């Protein structure tokens, strides 16, 4: 596949790399070498393909959103239906790949961080399947907000550990997971949930999520006889977006649009628009754009969508932004909710509130383009998990 690879040390331009305690060097290097070996091993790739097809449910549909297209009156809109995957989002693409890596490494204990619980549920799912011990670190605040996902993980046999440090959310859960890894690396695999973290994680997660873009490319060629004009995806850590974008990297005529959460507005502190308003710094062992305070500490971030409120972002997106390969814009809570309502009503598809940010970006873009242009929206997940919260918000704002 066409691609943009990091250098030997895991840098995309100035972003990425490894800024970690020395104890982790050897373990991450082992992971890197194993990963490089496995992705060239036909047996590994055949096993990956087996689970992608039979367990995740791939390939996901490439669906022409005819009614949304007509309503907006501009470019033709296709939806890449990651919401149809087992466990309801793109997360399992990455998790199944990494779980197979963990198996090859002989690790029997898997740890992961989770924010909203989507990555935790996907990880617990893979661990149930492969009979691995599973420990999920989740901010105490998030365990309360996402109680149903906590129960789901427990049903699947995972142990959910509430994290009580800091703001008791995702950032703190990652800190604790990294601490666990330092202590238990000999038998433990750290299943990172987005295209972030120290080298080689951004590369690994990108590789396993690239199945989205590889499929979308073939599906668009089949449906339209040509490549799309725009790819649109929401950006939290950046894994669903890079999964769609990366396989089109060398197709310079294909434009890429990432949509970050503007929360209550870019002129308030309540957003998580990392690429738009962040500055270069280090978080969780890698260099990227970070929303940080005057002391260089990651600042609290906010979005209506729990899956997007992370104060850092994947290094490859920072590089795409710096080089102009992709453009990054934002959508507010309100725009995302309006998009959530529109797609539900017009197409009969309830999108995840994360994915609704991408839909909002496309709703703005489509009317400005001619009818012969093509937009692909990455519909990263389904919205069932968000219905109760959206109902609450709508009741309050009536
Ligand atoms: C976790 C999640 C995201 C955000 O994560 P990325 O790594 O930025 O893709 C987006 N959409 C859904 C449905 C998610 O569950």
- How far is residue 381's CA from residue 239's CA, in Å, rounded to a whole number? 12
pLDDT the model gives residue 141: 87
Phi, psi torsion values for 39, nearest 5 degrees: -75, 0
CA 318 to chain CA centroid, nearest Å: 15
CA 118 to ligand 1: nearest atom? 15
pLDDT the model gives residue 271: 97
At 3, is the pLDDT very low, low, confident or very high (cuts 50, 70, 90)? confident
CA 205 to ligand 1: nearest atom? 7
Mean pLDDT of 223-242: 98
Is the Cβ atom of 17 under 6 angstroms away from ligand 1? Answer: no
Name which residue sits closest to atom 1 of ligand 1, judged by CA.
Answer: 307
CA 119 to ligand 1: nearest atom? 1
> Could you tell which of 90, 273, 301 is best to mutate to test the pocket of ligand 1, judged by most ligand atoms within 8 Å of the CB?
90
> Could you tell which of 123, 195, 239 is best to mutate to test the pocket of ligand 1, judged by most ligand atoms within 8 Å of the CB?
239
pLDDT tens for 180-230 read 999 999 999 999 999 999 999 999 999 999 999 999 999 999 999 999 999
pLDDT the model gives residue 62: 98
Q: Let me know if 341 is exposed, middle or buried by CB neighbors in 10 A (0-12, 13-18, 19+).
A: middle
Is the Cβ atom of 307 under 6 angstroms away from ligand 1? Answer: yes
Q: How far is CA 368 from CA 66, 74, 102, 203, 267, in A?
A: 17, 6, 46, 34, 26
Which residues are catalytic, by number? 91, 113, 380
Residue 117, Ramachandran bin (φ over 0: left; ψ between -120 and 50: alpha; else beta): left
Q: How far is the CA of 95 from the centre of ligand 1 (A)?
A: 13
Q: How far is the CA of 157 from the centre of ligand 1 (A)?
A: 23
Name which residue sits closest to atom 10 of ligand 1, judged by CA.
Answer: 354
- How far is residue 332's CA from residue 82's CA, in Å, rounded to a whole number? 22
pLDDT tens for 336-387 read 999 999 999 999 999 999 999 999 999 999 999 999 999 999 999 999 999 9
Furthest-apart CA pair in the chain: how many Å?
57
DSSP 79: E
At 93, is the pLDDT very low, low, confident or very high (cuts 50, 70, 90)? very high
Task: Give me the count of residues in the chain.
Answer: 398
Q: How far is CA 276 from CA 198, 224, 371, in A?
A: 22, 33, 29
At 398, is the pLDDT very low, low, confident or very high (cuts 50, 70, 90)? confident
CA 381 to ligand 1: nearest atom? 13
pLDDT the model gives residue 136: 98
Q: How far is the CA of 306 from the centre of ligand 1 (A)?
A: 9
DSSP 52: I
Mean pLDDT of 277-285: 97
- How far is residue 85's CA from residue 76's CA, in Å, rounded to a whole number? 24
Q: How far is the CA of 52 from the centre of ligand 1 (A)?
A: 18
Is the Cβ atom of 239 under 6 angstroms away from ligand 1? Answer: yes
Domains observed in the chain: 12-52+90-205 (3.40.50.1100), 59-88+210-396 (3.40.50.1100)
pTM: 0.98
Find residue 258's DSSP bridge partners: 233, 328
Q: How far is CA 312 from CA 6, 75, 301, in A?
A: 18, 32, 10
Is the Cβ atom of 89 under 6 angstroms away from ligand 1? Answer: yes
- How far is residue 377's CA from residue 231's CA, in Å, rounded to a whole number? 6
Q: How far is the CA of 235 from the centre of ligand 1 (A)?
A: 7
Is the Cβ atom of 94 under 6 angstroms away from ligand 1? Answer: no
pLDDT tens for 62-84 read 999 999 999 999 999 999 999 99
């Amino acid at each position: 596949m066409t691609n943009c690879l990091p250098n030997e040390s895991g840098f995309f331009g100035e972003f990425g790399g490894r800024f970690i305690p020395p104890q982790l060097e050897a373990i991450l290097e082992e992971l890197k070498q194993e990963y490089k070996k496995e992705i060239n091993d036909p047996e590994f790739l055949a096993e990956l393909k087996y689970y992608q097809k039979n367990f995740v449910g791939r390939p996901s549909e490439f669906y022409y959103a005819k009614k949304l297209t007509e309503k907006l009156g501009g470019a033709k809109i296709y939806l890449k239906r990651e919401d149809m995957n087992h466990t309801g989002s793109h997360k399992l693409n990455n998790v199944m790949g990494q779980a197979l890596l963990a198996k090859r490494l002989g690790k029997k204990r898997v740890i992961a961080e989770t924010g909203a619980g989507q990555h935790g549920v996907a990880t617990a799912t893979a661990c149930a399947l492969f009979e691995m011990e599973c420990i999920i670190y989740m901010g105490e605040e998030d365990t309360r907000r996402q109680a149903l996902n906590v129960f789901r993980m427990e049903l699947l046999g995972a142990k959910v550990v509430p994290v009580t440090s800091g703001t008791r959310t995702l950032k703190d859960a990652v800190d604790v997971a990294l601490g666990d890894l330092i202590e238990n690396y000999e038998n433990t695999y750290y299943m990172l949930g987005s295209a972030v973290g120290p080298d080689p994680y951004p590369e690994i997660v990108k590789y396993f999520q690239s199945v989205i873009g590889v499929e979308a490319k073939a599906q668009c060629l089949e449906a339209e006889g040509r490549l799309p004009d725009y790819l649109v995806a929401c950006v939290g850590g950046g894994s669903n977006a890079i999964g769609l974008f990366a396989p089109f990297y060398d197709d310079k005529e294909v434009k890429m649009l990432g949509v970050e959460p503007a929360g209550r507005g870019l002129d308030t502190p309540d957003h998580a628009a990392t690429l738009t308003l962040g500055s270069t710094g280090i978080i969780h062992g890698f260099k990227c754009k970070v929303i940080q305070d005057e002391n260089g500490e990651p600042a609290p971030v906010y979005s209506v969508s729990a899956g997007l409120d992370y104060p850092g972002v994947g290094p490859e997106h920072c590089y795409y932004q710096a080089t102009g390969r992709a453009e990054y814009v934002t959508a507010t809570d309100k725009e995302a909710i309006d998009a959530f309502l529109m797609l539900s009503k017009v197409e009969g598809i309830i999108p995840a509130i994360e994915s609704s940010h991408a839909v909002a970006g496309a709703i703005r873009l489509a009317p400005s383009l001619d009818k012969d242009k093509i937009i692909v929206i990455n519909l990263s997940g389904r919205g069932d998990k968000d219905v109760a919260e959206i109902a609450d918000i709508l009741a309050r704002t009536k």
